[in-house]
Structure 1
Amino acid sequence: MILNKLEQKLTRLQHKANDVVNRVRDRHIRLAVTGLSRSGKTAFITALVNQLEHAAIDGRLPLWDALRQGRILGARRVPQLNAHIPTFAYERGLDSLFGDPPAWPEPTRGVAEVRLEIRYRTRHPLRKHLGEISTLYVDLVDYPGEWLLDLPLLEMSYEQWSEQVREQLRRPELQALAASWLTPEWQATQPFAERPVAELAERYTAYLHACKQELGLHLIQPGRFVLPGEYAGAPMLQFVPWVWEMPVGEPADGTLYATLRQRFEQYKQHLVQGFYEQHFAGFDRQIVLVDCLQPLNAGAASFGDMQQAIARIMESFAYGKSNWWRRLFSPRIDKLLFVASKADHVTPEQHAPMVSLLQHLVRSGRGQARFEGITTECLALAAIKATEVGKGVANGREFPAIRGTSLSGESLLLFPGEVPPHIPPAQWWNSQGFDFQAFRPMPMSAHQALPHIRLDAALEFLLGDHLE
């Protein structure tokens, strides 16, 4: 037993040592992928792995320099180092995509990862002395966007967070959804009781789910309430913001207010800080997927909520250029890619406005990032293309259109509408006429790389400098 434990410890140390060596040599990179609700991150990771595995044989990635130059020898999945983290369900995702009828992969509910080994011919003069063929290990880490949106809570007190929620509840549509947990009135000094508070937390959680599903909101806090995973039923997930009459003076231990505040702090310490230390602080590069189309469909309130969510995301990043010494001992994100997903759900001439809109949404945060030395980029892409470009005719005139199959199996040919190139003013919403439909995947061959739009541009931005 003791020998087994010693062997396991030595194996972990060896893996860690190898990881350190690879980081110093720029042979290892951790790419984190997250997204706001329904942005398609599971499809994105599935497509990224698929493109890398097919690159050397069936590569359709002209914007990826290393492949275009013939220097990519191949890529394959290899066992991940973090055995305590679930493996990303890549094969299951392909089964869905190649099914009859095709379907989108099931979204992941927590952290998952997959490791790839890329072999390539180096152009770097120093590395050539060690051998012309080099290896880059890429860890793709998938995690829920709700967890990223929780990070700003680390800088907030219970009182500040409660005030933020009170401000949100000024909106009539949120007040209506919140009625079940806003009443009856609670008193800050009343004794804490486990069961009533657990029931109150359940009603608050149902409210958060309704905000997400019925109103299409993205700024859902605390994020673990809607994606609890192994912590479902834990007391630190049983608290609510204080939206009733504030206490006078400092509430005594054991009162309702003091206990809710204590649980908020426990949530921050164990879940939010834990996520930061165990995962976020170790990421080298980050991809954030944003579906701009559904909020445009849903209206001004949903779009405004997406704006706030993106602003909070920009607050979450520990900026700082990652030189080799700091990357070894204190890794920091040095590249940040924002993706306007589902570019295939609009006609091609709308891709440029999609990028422009996303750039406006992240503008303030990008300025700070650039000042700190982090490189940012905005792209419009479709990780898995689900439509074809077509033409429609109305009143004897042609119009640009896309052709695809709805989630219910109906064949569609339509022009979804024009994407605004900047953040729309209030009066603009009265005249918009969007019809952004959801499409299911097209029938595809399992023997070819998945069809995409500009996924190669993402690969070049994320991996290009590591493949020199």
Structure 2
Amino acid sequence: MNRISNEVNKWVNRSLDRHVRLAVTGLSRAGKTAFITSLINQLLHVSTNPRLPMFSAVREGYLLGSKRVPQLDMHVPKFGYDEGINALLSSPPSWPQPTSDVSQTRLALRFKPQKGALKLFQDTATLYLDIIDYPGEWLLDLPLLELDFISWSKQQAQVLKGQRLALAQSWLAMGEHFDPFAPADEALIETIAASFTDYLHQCKAEGGLHWVQPGRFVLPGELAGAPVLQFFPMIWTNKYTEQQLATATDDSNFGMLKKRYKYYQQHVVKAFYNDHFSKFDRQIVLVDCLQPLNAGHESFNDMRQALDQLMQSFKYGRSSMLRRLFAPRIDKVLFAATKADHITPEQHPNLVGLLQQLVNEAWQTASFEGITMDCVSLASIQASEPGFVNYQGKQVPALRGTDIDGNAQTFFPGDVPRRLPNQDFWNRNGFDFINLRPLPQQVDEPLPHIRMDKALEYLLGDKLQ
């Protein structure tokens, strides 16, 4: 009965356009948890100490206040906002822990309607904002819904080059004599799958690579140790024709791999997509362009490929009233280059230009569907202070902050290319990214940020009128 009541409440709020389900999307380490923590914090301070001049509802005074309210999906863990704020307020301050499972939060935003039916019949109205947090690693499983086991295996074989090939040697050697037609050997498959999982961890930790599939292998959540996470791509398909592999029986090694892949695809990935990503109204895609610039050509291209794969997994289309009630679809997307506080302010336009180049194909696709899109650079929680230093008799821009190890730093990280970097950029190796800890915070003040107000205006401004 409660489930039916919750669904009715969702429909009523959607019919009055009073419910927004926001997808905060991004690859691992893009800053999703920091963004959600800052978004909640900024909205909670709108009635007492707002620092959101570009957010029209705050600037013009018709957003009256915000508060956290119980979420409708009681089976989903609550987003750890309090834990994140405590980390930021600690001495020394530290970043909120990235999530290792799905979590959710709900905000109620009370406002004075400015137009439409709400203004005629109500002095005040409430917009309910649902935000889901989830591991970025899981996102990259969504493209698996379009691939069968052999297609996925071929795709994995194609990317085995450079760093990936070097890191894969151990599990490739293990599988060299793997017989797909032999009776299923669960112990052997488990052993090779464990080596494949180690390879994926190394790609992420040592190689600075983003496209790591399957994502649950590196962050399994409640599935740790389950057979559904014990398979691997049949990289050695060039030894056999597809017709030969098709003759493998269900109780063969190949049959077991294929069966586990399909189970993972249908019961893990598809369930995750249906429970969360097929139901969003608005989307912000967070992209960390700076770490890959620092890591090098291969890491940057890998991030670009992962982003392209990711953007193909979302449904876009005009969010009409009927669609909002029965088949909600994303109708507005904001691409945000994160960690803008890690470069000097005059480099921010270059960062936006680089992001526009990175998402150009996704932008074209979404524009064809009539979706409103934009790009912005932002820092969810500011970690540096910009200024100038004297260098060879000239005033040059610089940043001041504290690195993760607690050392004070004054530095110029380098120029950000406005377009996709060419070989000259990589040869110069002219970018130096320093991981900074957050600036010290005051408990009664909103978190310092760069352009969070612009993001809020784009994502929610029209819903608060």
TM-score range, shorter chain: over 0.9
SS in 1 for 2:58: helix
Correspondence 1:357 to 2:347: no
Deviation at 1:373, TM superposition (A): 1.7
Letter in 2 for 1:28: H
Deviation at 1:129, TM superposition (A): 2.2
CA RMSD, 1 decimal: 1.1
Letter in 1 for 2:137: E
What is the aligned partner in structure 1 of residue 81 from structure 2?
Answer: 90
Give runs of aligned pairs for residues 259-278 of structure 1, distance below 5 A. 259-278=256-275
Correspondence 1:280 to 2:277: yes
CA distance in 2: counterparts of 1:167 and 1:18, whole angstroms: 48
Deviation at 1:33, TM superposition (A): 1.2
What is the aligned partner in structure 1 of residue 203 from structure 2?
Answer: 211
Deviation at 1:120, TM superposition (A): 0.5
What is the aligned partner in structure 1 of residue 407 from structure 2?
Answer: 410
From 233, 255, 280, give the equivalent of 1:241: 233
What is the aligned partner in structure 1 of residue 287 from structure 2?
Answer: 290
Report how many aligned residue pairs link the two structures.
458
Correspondence 1:199 to 2:191: yes
Correspondence 1:40 to 2:31: yes
Give runs of aligned pairs for residues 54-69 of structure 1, distance below 5 A. 54-69=45-60
Deviation at 1:87, TM superposition (A): 0.2
Are the equivalent residues in 2 in contact too, given 1:149–1:316 (CA < 8 A)?
no
What is the aligned partner in structure 2 of residue 178 from structure 1?
Answer: 168
Q: Could you list the structure 1 runs, at least 4 aligned residues long, displaced by more than 3 angstroms after superposition.
A: none
CA distance in 2: counterparts of 1:149 and 1:80, whole angstroms: 26
Q: Deviations over 1:74-122 (max 9, x none)?
A: 0000000000000000000000000010000111012111100000011
SS in 2 for 1:316: coil
SS in 2 for 1:55: coil
What is the aligned partner in structure 2 of residue 387 from structure 1?
Answer: 384
Deviation at 1:396, TM superposition (A): 2.2
CA distance in 2: counterparts of 1:234 and 1:201, whole angstroms: 12
Are the equivalent residues in 2 in contact too, given 1:79–1:115 (CA < 8 A)?
yes
From 232, 247, 251, give the equivalent of 1:250: 247
CA distance in 2: counterparts of 1:253 and 1:445, whole angstroms: 61
Deviation at 1:19, TM superposition (A): 1.2
What is the aligned partner in structure 2 of residue 442 from structure 1?
Answer: 439
CA distance in 1: counterparts of 2:249 and 2:71, whole angstroms: 48
SS in 1 for 2:437: coil
Q: Deviations over 1:291-344 (max 9, x none)?
A: 100100010000000110111112111121111111111111111221100000
Q: Deviations over 1:235-276 (max 9, x none)?
A: 111100001233625212211112101111111100111111
Q: Deviations over 1:134-186 (max 9, x none)?
A: 100001111222222211111111111111111111x1321221112111321
From 21, 25, 33, give the equivalent of 1:30: 21
Gaps of 5+ in 2: none
Q: Deviations over 1:166-224 (max 9, x none)?
A: 1111x132122111211132111122111221121111111111101111111111111
CA distance in 2: counterparts of 1:216 and 1:238, whole angstroms: 24
Gaps of 5+ in 1: 1-8
CA distance in 2: counterparts of 1:28 and 1:67, whole angstroms: 19
Q: Deviations over 1:5-41 (max 9, x none)?
A: xxxx2x2222221111000101111112132121111
Correspondence 1:151 to 2:145: no
Correspondence 1:127 to 2:118: yes
Are the equivalent residues in 1 in contact too, given 2:319–2:330 (CA < 8 A)?
yes
What is the aligned partner in structure 2 of residue 309 from structure 1?
Answer: 306
Are the equivalent residues in 2 in contact too, given 1:32–1:143 (CA < 8 A)?
no
CA distance in 2: counterparts of 1:375 and 1:246, whole angstroms: 47
Letter in 1 for 2:235: V
Give runs of aligned pairs for residues 325-364 of structure 1, distance below 5 A. 325-364=322-361
Deviation at 1:370, TM superposition (A): 0.8
CA distance in 2: counterparts of 1:426 and 1:395, whole angstroms: 29
Deviation at 1:393, TM superposition (A): 2.0
Are the equivalent residues in 1 in contact too, given 2:208–2:295 (CA < 8 A)?
yes
What is the aligned partner in structure 2 of residue 221 from structure 1?
Answer: 213
Deviation at 1:232, TM superposition (A): 1.0
Q: Greater CA deviation, 66-75 or 239-248?
A: 239-248
CA distance in 2: counterparts of 1:418 and 1:300, whole angstroms: 16
Are the equivalent residues in 1 in contact too, given 2:88–2:438 (CA < 8 A)?
yes
Are the equivalent residues in 2 in contact too, given 1:53–1:74 (CA < 8 A)?
yes
Deviation at 1:126, TM superposition (A): 1.6
TM-score of the pair, normalised by structure 2:
0.97
Letter in 2 for 1:105: P
SS in 1 for 2:168: helix
Are the equivalent residues in 1 in contact too, given 2:27–2:139 (CA < 8 A)?
no
Letter in 2 for 1:179: Q
